[in-house]
Structure 1
Amino acid sequence: MTSLTQIPVTNQLLAQLPADERDVFMAACDTVELAFGEVLVEPAGQITHVYFPLDGFISLIAILVDDNRLEVAMAGREGMMGISLVLGVDEAPLSALVQGAGSALRMEAARFQLLLLSSPVLHQRLKRYLYVMMNQLARSSACNHFHQVEARLARWLLMTQDRAGSDRLQLTHEFLAMMLGVRRAGITLAAIALQARGLIHYHRGEITVLDRPGLIEASCGCYTADRALYAKVLAPS
């Protein structure tokens, strides 16, 4: 039987750790399968586990008192779910919904916080990731307010493609409308526009990215800014 410490680490936050820290951390994790649509935590709920996705990904969703919902961030193999524990806060500020099924490393929150005390490199990387997340949340808020739906849809498709590792994405207009906080008709018009430009193909709940460079050009600058910030702040030392 292969131990967890022998499994190649595909989560980018963990892959750059020194071998001693990485091995101790991996030994304390379980590998779990994330099911599409699974809710890992609700706003104001207690964070009982942290998740480091390997090939699945998680949407972080703000929910208002009138039950309106808006995705404000994603966590795939580049990140984690449960980052507020780094600040000593075990209450979730956002809903965490599995958007892409796949595997993840999971650890109990209490054990994670204890391990941080003896894992200085991991602790530093997670503080830097928290900084990236803060910037991305702020940019997402401005993007949703100022940018057109077509550009926002292009950005969201690129973010999803990065984490799914595939050109084919299973997405309905209803789901996209919820993620972007717009009406379904707005998503339909934006998807038609992107398809007319030959950037995507949409048919019965499946979107295929046909022209990634063109989709990047069609998106707002928030997509490239997010990637540049992550690369700058979390580049291997």
Structure 2
Amino acid sequence: MQCTDIPLLQQLPLPAREQLLRHCEPFELVLSAELSTRGEPLAHAHFPIEGFLSLVVDVDSHPPLEVGMVGAEAMLGSELILGLAATPWRALVQGAGSSWRIGAQELRGQIQAIPALKALLQACLLARVHQQALAAACQRYHLIAPRLARWLLMSQDRSLSDSFHLTQEFMALMLGVRRVGVTEAAGHFQDVGLITYQRGELTVLNRKALEAEACSCYAADKAIYRRLVTCSSQ
């Protein structure tokens, strides 16, 4: 198992993890559910167990744009570490599953009570800042097909499955491009045997080849997480 494959909570020492989980409750992640709203106070933080979330921002009258993903490697609500009440994005369930949920005030208390948790979440927040800066440059400079390959790999990493439900319209929204661009890129990947896509169900057939198609940001993103979060905590 690589460093980036280790779920966030499993990186805590066992006593610290058990103490935190005593204050959490299981929560079902329902596909397309909205767990936070931009500009409104965040009532809960989530540690995904299975499934994953998209962090999206809305600018003026433009379609929403994804600025990050949260799976088992991270936490939804990292801004709470800074004492912020409002969240800067909407969090949408992109892959159904489950999470551990904890109240915002309860989390702040546990951060102060568990030094290992505070250090881990601070590292996780720092990694997100680095990754979002990288994502901004990726969107500006890289072509649609390499960006789509990267996004599919990120989704597969967090779904823990070779198959997941995606529409071309949703992919286009998340990448901030026209649907025709996604259609062409996905069609090419399907023609060369990297994926199959039918009626919203996408399956990755050749991950190694898809990694070769992805832009350099995919490997860079994982390296950031490995350097700042997981391997630094071991």
Q: Where on the TM-score scale, by shorter chain, does this alignment land: which range?
A: over 0.9
Superposed structure 1 runs of 4+ greater than 2 Å apart: none
What is the TM-score normalised by the length of structure 2? 0.95
Identity %: 42
- Asked if residue 38 in structure 1 is aligned to residue 33 in structure 2, the reply is yes
Structure 2: distance between partners of 1:133 and 1:22:
22
Q: Per-residue deviation at 1:66?
A: 1.1
Which of these residues, 148, 156, 163, is aligned with residue 153 of structure 1?
148
Query: Aligned in 2, Cα 1:55/1:44: closer, same or farther, shift over 3 Å?
Result: same
Q: Per-residue deviation at 1:27?
A: 0.3
Match of 2:206 in 1: 211
- The 3-state SS of whatever aligns with 2:72 is coil
Contact 1:11-1:53 at 8 Å conserved across structures: no
Query: What one-letter code is carried by the residue in structure 1 that aligns with 2:87?
Result: A
Match of 1:95 in 2: 90
- The 3-state SS of whatever aligns with 1:46 is coil
Query: Aligned in 2, Cα 1:56/1:11: closer, same or farther, shift over 3 Å?
Result: farther
Contact 1:50-1:109 at 8 Å conserved across structures: yes
- Asked if residue 189 in structure 1 is aligned to residue 179 in structure 2, the reply is no
Q: Per-residue deviation at 1:67?
A: 4.2
Match of 2:133 in 1: 138
Match of 2:102 in 1: 107
Q: Which runs of 5+ in 2 are unaligned?
A: none
Q: Any idea what the Cα deviations from partners look like across 1:110-152, whole Å, max 9, x if unmatched?
A: 0100111111111001111111100110111111111110001
Which of these residues, 4, 13, 16, is aligned with residue 21 of structure 1?
16
Q: Per-residue deviation at 1:20?
A: 2.1
- The 3-state SS of whatever aligns with 1:182 is coil
Match of 1:47 in 2: 42
Query: What one-letter code is carried by the residue in structure 2 that aligns with 1:81?
Result: L
What is the TM-score normalised by the length of structure 1? 0.93
Contact 1:11-1:54 at 8 Å conserved across structures: no
Match of 1:125 in 2: 120
Q: Which runs of 5+ in 1 are unaligned?
A: 1-9
Structure 1: distance between partners of 2:107 and 2:84:
13
Tell me how large the CA RMSD over aligned residues is.
1.2
Q: Per-residue deviation at 1:68?
A: 2.1
Structure 2: distance between partners of 1:34 and 1:165:
15
Match of 2:160 in 1: 165
- The 3-state SS of whatever aligns with 2:50 is coil
